[in-house]
Amino acid sequence: MSSAAPSGKGPLQRSGSQRTLKLWSLLLSKSSTRRRFRSSDWLNRIRREICTMKLIKHPNVVRLHEVMGSKARIFIVLEYITGGELFDTIYTNGRLKEEEARKYFQQLINAVDYCHSRGVYHRDLKLENLLLDAAGNLKVSDFGLSALTEQVKADGLLHTTCGTPNYVAPEVIEDRGYDGAAADIWSCGVILFILLAGFLPFEDENIIALYKKISEAQFTCPSWFSTGAKKLITRILDPNPATRITIPQILEDPWFKKGFKPPVFDDKYETSFDDVYAAFGDSEDQHVKEETEHKPTSMNAFELISLNQGLNLDNLFEAKEEHKRETRFTSQCPPKEIISKIAEAARPLGFDIQKKNYKMRMENPKAGRKGNLNVATEVFQVAPSLHVVELKKAKGDTLEFQMFYRSLSTQLKD
């Protein structure tokens, strides 16, 4: 590492809470607004952040293990990260060697790419939100300003101005709507610049002057940047989001690909929203229920209504439907016949089957992107001649679960 910096560039400074964008100044400008924010918006934002972190299970993202709640407090159990912030590393030792900077950048892009594939946009990527574990691996943290695909407006863009000024993309500042993925990529480019340079690409004490530099991409790469690094940073810090490099293009960049190691997933922790619902006052059991009698579990009218996508408020805090970890359909066939038909349809797809009364576990012995896909199935009785069949991803990759369900539907036909 070297702490060298060109003249006129001071040491890297921590992003202070006073330098936030207008979202927070608007929310906190009046006491009445502050009360409303704390009582409703704040609680919803916490729940959204928790549910988002539950969805993101990536080796380079801080893992949320469990949520607990009391009448006065909500406790979250996070992965224990001992290496501190990447910011502290740069602040103490200065810029990184190119190989080390590239390794961290590769891990960052892996994590951001995974988040985007789940419809999650971080919107506050900065050195202070990048932690290091005991092995020196990068961990993305703090999804408090993240957005889900459901928040995209009719024009296909996000419109909430938020983030940290030195890292924020020009289109976010201009407040005309922005693509969450492109804005995150810009922030990644700022981070890469800092890792290689030891200082920010855009800096000014005057916030208006700072925004002008960002909007016009007024930055200069130091002389020690390699040609490949300069080309990549220039393509990332493109003020036009329409021509800015995308993550698939970054993954194919020669400088980026050097020494690249794909992420290794550990799926021993299963995603469950049960603790989230319980902590926020919803104690309804979300797991496959145990049978006490040899007949399908009955589903009452209120439970049936809650399955309606328009009436179930939990959908506000989960991923978009094509990324959901469960699905349901109805059938007028006898429950035993339903289970048998699903088993027959799943076996040609290579799944091992375990049946118990009107519940079934289907597991793919071939490991996928995040281990072996495991699907829990249960038949519920709504009326003597009508049943609801529920399929949940118990383990594995959510997108693989969706592909499995589409294949299973084709096999079932009717």
Among the CATH numbers 3.30.310.80, 3.30.70.3280, 3.90.850.10, 3.10.450.50, which is that of 287-412? Answer: 3.30.310.80
Pairwise pLDDT comparison (134 vs 404), residue with the higher score: 134
Q: How far from 74 is each of 66, 129, 280, CA to CA, in Å? A: 11, 22, 8
What is the average pLDDT value for the chain, to the nearest integer?
80
Are 22-257 and 287-412 equal in CATH topology? no
Can you read off the two tokens belonging to residue 86?
């990447």
Per DSSP, the three-state class of 278 is: helix
Whole-number pLDDT of residue 176:
85
pLDDT at residue 193 is higher than 70: yes
Q: How far from 42 is each of 30, 68, 247, 295, CA to CA, in Å? A: 15, 17, 32, 43
What number is the average pLDDT over the span 379-386? 78
pTM over 0.95: no
Q: What secondary structure, in 3-state letters, does 228-248 show?
A: HHHHHHHHHCCCCCCCCCCHH
The per-residue pLDDT for range 17-73, each reduced to its tens digit, is 333 343 333 333 333 333 444 455 677 778 778 888 888 889 999 998 888 877 677
Residue type, 162: C
Helices (H) and strands (E) in the chain, counts: 15, 12
pLDDT at residue 296 is higher than 50: yes
pLDDT at residue 320 is higher than 70: no
The per-residue pLDDT for range 216-259, each reduced to its tens digit, is 999 999 999 999 999 999 999 999 999 999 999 999 999 999 99
155 is catalytic: no
Q: Which of the residues 41, 113, 124, 352 is marked catalytic?
A: 124
Whole-number pLDDT of residue 282:
46
The span from the CA of 271 to the CA of 68, in Å, is: 15
Could you tell me the residue ranges of all domains in the chain? 22-257, 287-412
Q: At what angle do helices 180-197 and 98-117 cross, to 10 degrees?
A: 170
* 32 contacts: CB under 8 Å, gap ≥ 6: none
Residue with tokens 């084709």: 410
Burial class (CB in 10 A: 0-12, 13-18, 19+), 231: middle
Which band of pLDDT confidence, cut at 50, 70 and 90, is reported for residue 319?
Answer: very low
The Cβ of residue 58 has, within 10 Å, a number of other Cβ atoms equal to 21
Among the CATH numbers 3.40.605.10, 1.10.510.10, 1.10.3720.10, 1.10.540.10, which is that of 22-257? Answer: 1.10.510.10
